Amino acid sequence: MKIDGQPYRTIFPDADGVSVQVIDQTRLPFAFELKRLRSMHDAAVAIRTMVVRGAPLIGVAAAYGLALGLAKDASDAGIERAVEFLAETRPTAINLRWALDRVAAKLRTVPIPERAAFAFAEAGRIAEEDVESCHAIGVHGARILSNLHARTGRTVNVLTHCNAGWLATVDWGTALAPIYVAHDAGVPVHVFVDETRPRNQGAALTAFELNAHGVPHTVIADNAGGHLMQHGRIDVCIVGSDRTTASGDVCNKIGTYLKALAASDNRVPFYAALPFSTIDWTLDDGVAQIPIEERDGREVSHLTGRLPDGAFATIEVVSPGSPVANPAFDVTPARLVTGIITERGVATASADGLLSLYPERRAAA
Ligand SMILES: CSC[C@H]1O[C@H](OP(=O)(O)O)[C@H](O)[C@@H]1O
């Protein structure tokens, strides 16, 4: 998408052909800075510290990290070591492991001297597929918004949680893609943006994206969403996903489940938007089976922002000495999900619904 009229992707090959550039998302929205990843370790640190974040984007970043690692050791053992090293950076988003496994599987038939270049090119193919998938998600999801507008005759109010925009992918995004496509097609859309504690991806990243694209929006405290739904202020919720099971359970940023409960109680349609690479076909009970990342409690006890003089600062916001817990994701059971918006269309949140879009998976089911 564009920033100050300049088209950008979140990750792209450097001119040197052997490293990649990424947007440093820990500096947004107050500073736009690119960061060069020159090694597998650079990629791992970028993923773990959320310089890059968002399920599809960390998958692509890991694939490039694998390519950078092969420059040092392209043996079969080297591939295995690199895959495990990168897979350990963040456990919840399935895209990370999916991308690594896809590249590693293809490498086995590639001569060792050619593996690093092949992996780098394969990472680029994954990135291009992500852009196409996310745009298709936008097209399918935009129909939901245009139908709501046609029915009500007024602006469509969407609530979203965390950041599932183009900053969470290579371009377009997942939950925000339908909003961009609908907005660009002239459908009046307004977005209520959950700030999304503790890292505030909504307040910092989603708001930054919507400002840059000119989409009307209002940032709200996470706990305001249920109240707005009770008072008819929300027409539809659209969220992203880090891992969705074959049965339609949706794992996403912490707090998503609470929004789904409020949506169900107020009969507000609740959609998850995700590409094929976010579906884990091996799982059928998300609450029991999806590993939930536990992040550093400092993300809850401290806040980083900008001072009036423009300097960045980190302040303490929890009583010193109080223990802090920081589960980064939760799982919304399929029964609370109205539909799943994918690059192939919109499915019910169920095994049959997903298999109707991905019939090739029926044999493996
Ligand atoms: C399109 S994936 C977006 C998904 O990823 C985010 O998690 P994080 O910022 O921790 O990588 C969040 O769950 C978003 O919904």
Residues of the chain below pLDDT 70: 365
Residue of minimum CA distance from atom 12 in ligand 1: 253
pLDDT at 5: 83
Cβ–Cβ < 8 Å for 48, 18: no
pLDDT in tens, 151-186: 999 999 999 999 999 999 999 999 999 999 999 999
ipTM over 0.90: yes
Distance from C-alpha of 342 to C-alpha of 136, rounded to nearest angstrom: 8
User: Of 242, 249, 280, 330, which is the active-site residue?
Assistant: 242
Distance from C-alpha of 332 to C-alpha of 241, rounded to nearest angstrom: 10
Q: Using alpha carbons, select from 174, 177, 166, 183 the residue that is nearest to residue 276.
A: 174
pLDDT at 3: 86
Q: How far apart are the first and last CA of the chain?
A: 37
Global pTM value? 0.97
Ligand 1 pocket mutation, candidates 160, 163, 176, 277, criterion most atoms within 8 A of CB:
163
Q: Using alpha carbons, select from 304, 307, 308, 330 the residue that is nearest to residue 317.
A: 304
Cβ–Cβ < 8 Å for 245, 284: yes
Q: Quick one: which H or E segment has residue 122? A: helix 115-152
Cβ–Cβ < 8 Å for 37, 46: yes
